[in-house]
Structure 1
């Protein structure tokens, strides 16, 4: 099979397409024939060496949508099931940017029925991150939440999920993204100055750190998206950072919200797997609204 990997760190040009053996599922694993796989900033970090692994072949890709192709023992999934999954992990020889991928059954969920595989592939990593960040924040219905980086993938899901839970969401985004933010459920959109202490909680998808912490009221809550990189608590503000985990049960709930029209999935552009380096170059340019998706 073909797979996108890096064998030495660098820019988009470091991405290579190689031939590899089709992986075999072990117990409590399934093999997925990949129909689409989203490209995320974490893939750029892996490619650049942010997570180590020098001297090794490292596979790229965390998000996958496709069809179960084979199963190990002790799994309820069957060949032919259409699924989505988070293929979690930093430094592995092969990952989701390939024609086939093996994942643990606990990471797999039934694919949304109302969207195609390209759109479904944008769901796992970013929606799980947003949902797990909100679980850490625990905003109550009616409380105020500021989402920084709200036009990005994680931020966009956070806006939608929080609004669905009855939270009063303010999106921090560019003026040009205001209409998009309101369509996702934001009650307010700000693009300039933010009042200190003005919010019960902040989900800092833009990684503003202490600047965003100042916008939380005394005794409120702050959650960032870079594991173990959140600012220290001040003024009684509870601080934490989400570290996404594969959770097939939660992913199934999120897929259900897609089918109910609660969550909108955004695809910016698609690329053939062979053009993965071009997709990385586009991601590096910035300004992408929605996800870039690779198609084997």
Structure 2
């Protein structure tokens, strides 16, 4: 089978589509025939060596890429219940230190990282849900805001930010969304109550809308201290990228959120997507052999996710 790997760090030119044996599922695992796999910023950070420099990725001769997958169960290992050959599924590969990732013709995942795919959507659309949807919902869970609380979401037009706005609105939170001026209509359509251009001074702009500041911030755009200034004293701040957490000034609870696979939470997101409460956005679909092109496109603005179709 074909799979995307790197053997050294660098630009898109280090990406390889190579022939490797089809993996075999072990106990508690499933083999998925991949129909769609997204390309995310974490893939770029892996390829460039940024994650290795941050101490998140140990040395390895060959590193597989790809976190999100939508496809069909091909086989199951011993002890797997609730999933069977032929099931259409989505799942998340949440480990960095792997020789094969989801950007391949087949991938093996733990069964507790896999759930049924949303009905009525394409594999490309379904593949956009796991990583970014779980990042948003898990960060919101940790922020733990009560209904009626106020949340600032930076990068609200992006993949994580868009899901965060929709999920927060569904929980009855008041959302202040920050994004590019051209994206105001988009993020208001996601359910944002207020909009602040990303060029504004966040602290001043948000506090003009929410006296005293927002109860919390979900910083998908990695604005750091600028977003923290928009949060009230004693509020909460979720940083989503290593190195993106500001100092916890004014008694703010600042934490990094690290994504984890969770079939139960993913199943909840599937239900919301089927109900139309989550918007699955595909920025473009490319064959596996054009993975380098996808990485080059990620250097500029992309709305939704680029998807590889093996």
TM-score by length of 2: 0.93
Q: Which residue number in structure 1 is paired with residue 70 of structure 2?
A: 65
**Aligned equivalents of 2:256, 2:8: Cα separation in 1:** 30
Between the aligned partners of 1:93 and 1:167, the Cα distance in structure 2 is 41
> Per the alignment, in what secondary structure is the counterpart of residue 235 of structure 1?
helix
Q: Is the 8 A contact 1:109 1:248 kept in 2?
A: yes
Report what 2:38 is aligned to.
38
SS at match of 1:94: coil
The Cα of 1:54 is off from its aligned counterpart by 4.6
- How far apart are the structure 2 equivalents of 1:229 and 1:28? 35
Q: Which runs of 5+ in 1 are unaligned?
A: none
Give the Cα separation in 1 of the matches to 2:51 and 2:228. 26
Structure 1 position 232, deviation (Å) = 3.0
The counterpart of 2:115, out of the listed 109, 122, 125, is 109
Which string of whole-angstrom CA distances, capped at 9 and with x for unpartnered residues, describes residues 177-201 of structure 1? 0010011111111102332552111
* Secondary structure in 1 matching 2:50: coil
Look up the match of 1:75.
80
Q: CA RMSD in A?
A: 1.2
Give the equivalent residue in structure 2 for 1:29.
29
Partner of 2:4: 4
- Find runs of 4+ consecutive structure 1 residues off by over 4 angstroms: none
- Which stretch has the larger CA shift, 61-70 or 227-236? 227-236
Residue in structure 2 matched with residue 291 of structure 1 by the alignment: 305
Where does 1:214-293 land on structure 2 (aligned, <5 Å)? 214-227=229-242, 229-284=244-299, 286-293=300-307
- Does the 8 A contact of 1:268 with 1:290 survive in 2? yes
Partners of 2:140 and 2:218 in 1: CA distance: 8
CA shift digits 1:210-236 (9 cap, x unpaired): 221111011211111024752232212
Give the equivalent residue in structure 1 for 2:185. Answer: 179
Task: Compare 205-214 and 78-87 and name the one that shifted more.
Answer: 205-214
Tell me the distance in 2 between the aligned counterparts of 1:294 and 1:128. Answer: 20
SS for the counterpart of 2:249 is: coil
Aligned equivalents of 1:232, 1:158: Cα separation in 2: 23
TM-score for the superposition, normalised by structure 1:
0.97
Correspondence for 1:86: 92
Count of matched residue positions in the alignment of Structure 1 and Structure 2? 295
Which structure 2 residue ranges, 5 or more long, are not aligned? 53-57
Question: C-alpha separation between the residues in 2 aligned to 1:118 and 1:271?
Answer: 10
